[in-house]
Amino acid sequence: MTEREGRIYYEDDKIRIRDMKQSDAGILTREEIAQGWDSHIEKLEMRLCHQAEGKAAALVAEYEGKPAGYIHVYPDSRWGAFAGLGYPEIVDFAVLEKYRGRGIGNRLMDAAEEIAAEYADMVYLGVGLHSGYGSAQRLYVRRGYMPDGSGVWYGESVCEPYADCRNDDDLNLYFSKKLR
């Protein structure tokens, strides 16, 4: 059985942004593991289920026909600094290391922000604080995202001042951006 193509959000001679397909999940997970990331296919499969249920948009970037990155948009997110307030959240944004520096991340963000703008005038996201998130942190600032002012989060709650926490993927700072 052939997978459906879905919506195309952007396309030029090298980059294509489209709806994620089931086959992308395995390819991207294997590529992330190969570059040393702690990756699990269940995360992308969950995002695909949320897309099928109409809860999220799951996008993939292709570079010269090969999956190179992904991003997800939840129109009315139920977690994070703006949970339940009707603002879209961008989650799980990644570009494989071998494809970085080619404009893929900006194209993914453009598409995610266009989707978010269909639902609200603001979008938000959480970004990890360890050095592995450095390029994403810089990208968000360049694109006009500002810290929301709630402080550092660990998991699903604000990390209280002077509390112990781990500098892992659950330690985040939330940013927001006005879209119009």
Residue 161 forms part of a structural domain: yes
Name the residue range of residue 157's domain.
8-178
pTM recorded for the entire structure: 0.93
Q: Is the pLDDT of residue 175 over 60?
A: yes
Residue 88 forms part of a structural domain: yes
- Mean pLDDT of all residues in the chain? 94
Residue 24 forms part of a structural domain: yes
Under 8 Å between Cβ of 59 and 70: yes
Question: What is the secondary structure of the chain as a DSSP string?
Answer: -PPP---EEEE-SSEEEEE--HHHHHHHHHHHHHTT----HHHHHHHHHHHHTTS-EEEEEEETTEEEEEEEEETT-SSSTTTTTT--EEEEEEE-GGGTTSSHHHHHHHHHHHHHHTT-SEEEEEEE-SGGGHHHHHHHHHTT-EEEEEEEEETTEE--TT-----STTEEEEEEEE--
Count of domains for the chain: 1
Q: What is the pLDDT of residues 65-86, one digit of tens each?
A: 999 999 999 999 989 999 999 9
Q: What is the CATH number of the domain that holds 44?
A: 3.40.630.30
| 35-59: average pLDDT | 96
Residue the block writes with tokens 């959240």? 89
Per cent of the chain over pLDDT 70 is 97
Q: Is the pLDDT of residue 1 over 50?
A: no
Q: Which residues of 127-163 are buried (b: 16+ CB within 10 A; e: fewer)?
A: bbbeeebeebbebbeeeebeebeeebbbeeeebeeee
Q: Is the pLDDT of residue 120 over 70?
A: yes
Structure tokens of 118? 């269909």
Residue 82 forms part of a structural domain: yes
Q: What is the pLDDT of residues 121-163, one digit of tens each?
A: 999 999 999 998 998 999 999 999 999 999 999 999 999 999 9
Residue 1 forms part of a structural domain: no
Residue 2 forms part of a structural domain: no
